Structure 1
């Protein structure tokens, strides 16, 4: 691939353009919002001038509802040798392109499993896709050249290709992406009218659960409108669990010991199933999730504190596998939780104590 056209310069389109440009591909940028295309160009994502000739690959990075028509328009202009979209749903765009008379042989659906609660070109990064799964959904009509161009795009973006049927993909993202967004938003919505005293008690748990609730509502309306059926199916299962959990909690309030035991069993069941599901979430480098030891350090809110901790851990020969920060309410301090392999926990604890770091249980 020597040339590419990126249609749509939001977070995903601009990030792909930045990655391609960094690796020597000549990229042209197109967007209905000319200012947004100019912003992406100013960031080094490519040129906002029209390509002088058909490019090797056109990457369509527009909302799902517009993906099919945009693909059909690009094909009608013979803009590229191959066409690929990065919409978060795959069945709908293919069906729309077919209905509009598009060439399915020159098209492949794709979905990079990466993103951010922020949107727009200013949130873009050439490293956004590194190590992340990038779903490709070819079918029996897909031309081999187009599949190869798509695989080259994934490689240039340093992502990991995953081949998946379009409808199977849509069911999967309903479970692992679209439903979590709605559940996060519903939990965060409870905070809107909550008493200030309650909100001040927010800790890391509520921050973890509600982080993605900060996402752009307009973007998510587009996504959910393109995949409502599978999302509704998952949410109906969540709703059934919620109903059972509510009944179990009511039973815990009963005076009868038998009802309380039944309620406790119901709560235990949902917590156990939740833990079993969490254990299936891939860990570092896509491997099975690892059991880490946590070393907790109290730090002040001053420049360079985190850098010093990491430097001291590195000097002790300890690799930090993961890190979390729990900010103290109303104080210029916080707790940093350093996750390490169990054999390294003792060495890290000793090294940090020796360097004067206050540790916490």
Structure 2
């Protein structure tokens, strides 16, 4: 896909909106500072929203900022607020509930804000899929934190004391979730290529391997967008070293000893480019399954890769525990991806 960066809109600083349009907000109750990043960024802009669909986690990771979010949405003009429950044990119910809350608004709303900052990766994928028939504009907004866990020192300490992993954002794996809107039955019976994103939770990929038994495993490492977090590229590779060595022929290393396949944790287009290259090489001969183990913006790129290549199958290994304190603090910057006619954009991609 030579024109990937032409086809897909830039990720840029979020706009300060005005009250000229009828807008709906979709976001999640979160406990991190960034869960309120975009809505607070719009503070003082007037009644820029007409309605909102907050996602309520039935299994919260911490003390969610529910009241703060409701107050901010009301101040932004949202007079109709209808929450949707998210239970990671019943993701299909979430999908149906979200469709019920959104589809009736498709003809009356001009623009939809999707704040992915506090969404699980599965919620991001389901939201983007549910909106496929929405003809208006969407803004995918993301608030970048000032500080992420683990710190470099915590990671270094963890290599000597594995109990420190309890302080990392996710630990272990609960179950592997498969959704009809993200699945594909094409190429069943053919050899499987598993594409996974390197993270700080090696068990996510290990569990996928035990379930799928793929012919090959291809890692896409994370490339931090900030220089002060560049150490993470090497760290996430070290965490998956055993699997990378086991599947060394599928995971080439560059002259610096790092994985050649990397994608920005912020610019979603990198992910699309990497998956497209893998698909062009293997898609005609092998079934491609992607594990949604990347960053939130890498997950956005994964969704659009699925639209470009419908026979790609996506699965979500759900972490079974989280760190409540120290996951992320502060808000560094608020970003957005703006697509003026979403359903038309999706249709164009599917015909590419």
TM-score w.r.t. the length of structure 2 is 0.30
More helix per residue: 1 or 2? 1
Higher RCO, 1 vs 2 (CA within 8 Å, ≥6 residues apart): 2
Structure exhibiting the larger radius of gyration computed from Cα positions:
1
More strand per residue: 1 or 2? 2
